[in-house]
Amino acid sequence: MCSLRTRWRRLRSRGQSSRCSTRNAQEIMSESIIRPHHPFARELSELCAAFGLEPSGDVDQIEVTGVSSHSDRVVAGDVFAALPGRQRHGAEFAEVAIDNGAVAILTDGRGAALVRDASVPLIVVDEVRLALGHLAGWVHRTDPEAARLLGVTGARGKTSVVETIAALLRILGDEAATSGTLGRRVGEETAPAVLTTPEADELHAMIARMRETGVRFGAVEVTAHSVHERRIAGLEFEVIGFVSFAPEMLAPGVDAEATITTMIELFTPEHARRGVVSIDGEWGRRVVEETRIPVTTVATRPDRAADWHVTAEHLDEQLLVTVVGHEGRQVRATVWCDDEFAVANLGLAIVMLEEAGLDLEQVQEALDRAGGIDLTAAEHLPAVTVSEDVAREAGW
């Protein structure tokens, strides 16, 4: 992986003056934002020096404890990232962010023109979302070794795989934070989903909360749209998984070629260490051909030359699912589910966990103790409402 400073050499900055913050983290906890309860304070001057930024105004002795791209969710000590939007620019809401305690504003040239008289330092960059992810990672001290992320992309099955990973980890006596169509979750804390893959500041804040609560794994749905918009900037996935994909699965008007090309960007060293790819379809095989990281393949079709094969045998109202790899390595599980796609998704989830370093013998022992895995149980799903934005983005 290249260093954050290397990624930022092309970013340039300028800005304006300073002020103190007024709103604290406890006052915003009721607003369903998962973020650290006890954030580390870092110096704004050190942040600027770390990335070669040149803010306007005096940044000495200003402490930063977070980053937020939503003005109404800013907490005292946050840098407010004023993002360009489809209809309005986030800089239009800078005063709201400042009133809530923002200690600096990060924006682009267009945003800077809207906040020339801001009472806090102004940092101007070319690509705000790219900057947002890396700054949030620095502020929250995001460490891929401390919280291992498993990402899932594709057109259909992302939510199922994410929830299956979480269910398997619960059986193992572990916990997984989750982020996707159903919302964000770390332990008992939940937050609703506005986008399937949220802005980078939310993901980095979630990872910081994982560290506080001792949660070692995070399972994240990653849409092509989020890759295109740089929402995963500053993150490194331990494993990225690819589920089913076909043009007919996409929303009307979405370009299939552009979508698959963007998804393949995830299978590069800039984003992930290794991949697991379902090759039941032709699109999965294309991912394997174009990947730039080591990948392991999974298939339910016996005619596919995959590293792992998934089979299912009907047992009354249950399925006996077997995931078989090289040299006879296998995991068998009794499964309660309504959807045959769940069989392929279970296989992908098991292999992703194995690639993330879990011992398959321990997985098998845990499944045997539990008597199987219920993939239809309501308790596996957080009680959140799926928004229209999420539904629209899901095909991406």
What are the φ/ψ torsions at residue 310 (nearest 5 degrees)? Answer: -115, 125
* CATH code: domain of residue 62: 3.40.1390.10
pLDDT at residue 110, as a whole number: 95
Neighbours of 9 (CB within 10 A): 10
Three-state DSSP state, 14: coil
* CATH code: domain of residue 357: 3.40.1190.10
Tell me how far the alpha carbon of residue 257 is from its chain's centroid. 23
Is the domain of 88 the same as that of 185?
no
Is the domain of 180 the same as that of 76?
no
Of 139, 170, 191, the last residue of a domain is 139
Q: How far is CA 108 from CA 105, 133, 256, in A?
A: 10, 15, 31
Is the domain of 354 the same as that of 227?
yes
Is the domain of 292 the same as that of 190?
yes
Is the domain of 328 the same as that of 305?
yes
pLDDT at residue 377, as a whole number: 53
Is the domain of 152 the same as that of 135?
no
Is the domain of 183 the same as that of 286?
yes
DSSP H helical segments within the chain, as ranges? 4-7, 44-51, 94-99, 109-114, 128-139, 158-171, 200-213, 224-228, 256-264, 282-290, 341-355, 360-370, 388-393
pLDDT at residue 338, as a whole number: 65
pTM of the model: 0.87
Is the domain of 218 the same as that of 302?
yes
Answer whether 79's CB lies under 8 Å from 65's CB.
Answer: no
The domain tally of the chain equals: 2
Tell me how far the alpha carbon of residue 248 is from its chain's centroid. 25
Which range marks the domain in which residue 298 is found? 148-393
Q: What is the CA radius of gyration of the chain?
A: 22
Is the domain of 130 the same as that of 158?
no
pLDDT at residue 342, as a whole number: 85
Is the domain of 109 the same as that of 26?
yes
pLDDT at residue 391, as a whole number: 45
Of 139, 165, 182, the last residue of a domain is 139
pLDDT at residue 216, as a whole number: 94
Task: Report d(CA 215, CA 358) in Å as an integer.
Answer: 15
Instruction: Collect the ranges in the chain with pLDDT lower than 70.
Output: 1-31, 338, 377-396
Is the domain of 180 the same as that of 210?
yes
Tens-digit pLDDT profile for residues 290-309: 999 999 999 999 999 999 99
Of 84, 114, 139, the last residue of a domain is 139
